[in-house]
Structure 1
Amino acid sequence: MKNILVTIDFNGKERILLKQAYELASAFHSKLWIMHIAAPDPDFVGYDAGPIEVRNSRAKELKDEHAKLREYAFEMNERHVETEGLLVEGVTISTILKEAERLNADLIISGREKHGFFYKAIIGSTSSQLIGESKIPILIVLLGD
């Protein structure tokens, strides 16, 4: 296993995923890719970008997310696991699959949180969609209740 892609959300539970990713990458001497999918730019999905305050807020959010990814990658590199952080804008499932293929990932690690029936019915489950669509093995990590 040469490349492991771990997808994180900045929901406060990413350390759980990163711990699992570190253990596997360390055991297999794999390169670790830490990826966060940012929501698509409003222009991308057909909306106006909005006032300058909205654009500035969005730019700050992306800058902060990128800095956090660099921090996580630095921590892993300090622990002797070659790691890079990726901040990619796009639609979650298709972006994960496209990047995993581009990186020649041997494994995708993703988290799963428990949600109620209505959430699942309306929003769906990223982990379920990944399992259904990926040709690359998936490790789903339960992120608590």
Structure 2
Amino acid sequence: MKNILVAIDFENNEKLLLDYAAEIATKFGSKVWLIHIAEPEPDFVGYEVGPQYIRDTLAEELREEHRQLQDYAMGLTKKEIEADGLLVQGATVEMIMAESEKLNIDLIILGHHEHSFLYKVFLGSVSTEIVKKSKIPVLIVPLIE
């Protein structure tokens, strides 16, 4: 197992996912790829970009998320685990699947939040969709809120 992909959603559950990734990576000598899928560009989804202050705010949020990914990667590197952080914009499930293929990922680690029935009907679950579409093993970590 050479490459592990960990999906980070910045909902204060990263430590648990990082701990699992570190344990597995240490045992197998794997590289850990941390990925966060940000919302697509407004033009991508058919909306105008809007005023400059909105673009500036979005750009700052992306910079902060990228900095945080790099900090997590650095924390793993200090534990002698090779790690990189990726910030990608687009549709979550599709981007995770595309990056997994591109990076030759051997294991995907995702957190799973329990949602209401209506949430699942209208929005679905990223972890469920990844499991359905992936040909790569997926480790689902239950996240208790």
Query: Same fold per TM (> 0.5)?
Result: yes
Runs of 5+ in structure 1 lacking a partner? Answer: none
Q: Please give the per-residue CA displacement for 1:56-105, whole angstroms capped at 9, x wherever unaligned.
A: 00000000000000100000000000000000001000100000000000
Partner of residue 94, structure 1: 94
Q: Distance in 2 between matches of 1:125 and 1:59?
A: 27
Q: Distance in 1 between matches of 2:73 and 2:91?
A: 23
**Within-5 A mapping of 1:45-84:** 45-84=45-84
Deviation beyond 4 Å, 4+ runs, structure 1: none
The alignment status of 1:143 with 2:143, answered yes or no, reads yes
Query: Normalising to structure 1: TM-score of the pair?
Result: 0.98
Q: Distance in 1 between matches of 2:46 and 2:117?
A: 30
TM-aligned CA deviation for residue 23 of structure 1: 0.6
Q: Distance in 1 between matches of 2:9 and 2:69?
A: 11
Query: Normalising to structure 2: TM-score of the pair?
Result: 0.98
Q: Identity percentage over the alignment?
A: 50
TM-aligned CA deviation for residue 48 of structure 1: 0.5
**Within-5 A mapping of 1:8-47:** 8-47=8-47
Total equivalences in the alignment: 145
Partner of residue 103, structure 2: 103
Q: Please give the per-residue CA displacement for 1:21-70, whole angstroms capped at 9, x wherever unaligned.
A: 11111111000000000010101111111101100000000000000001
Amino acid at match of 1:83: A
Runs of 5+ in structure 2 lacking a partner? Answer: none
Q: Distance in 1 between matches of 2:48 and 2:71?
A: 32
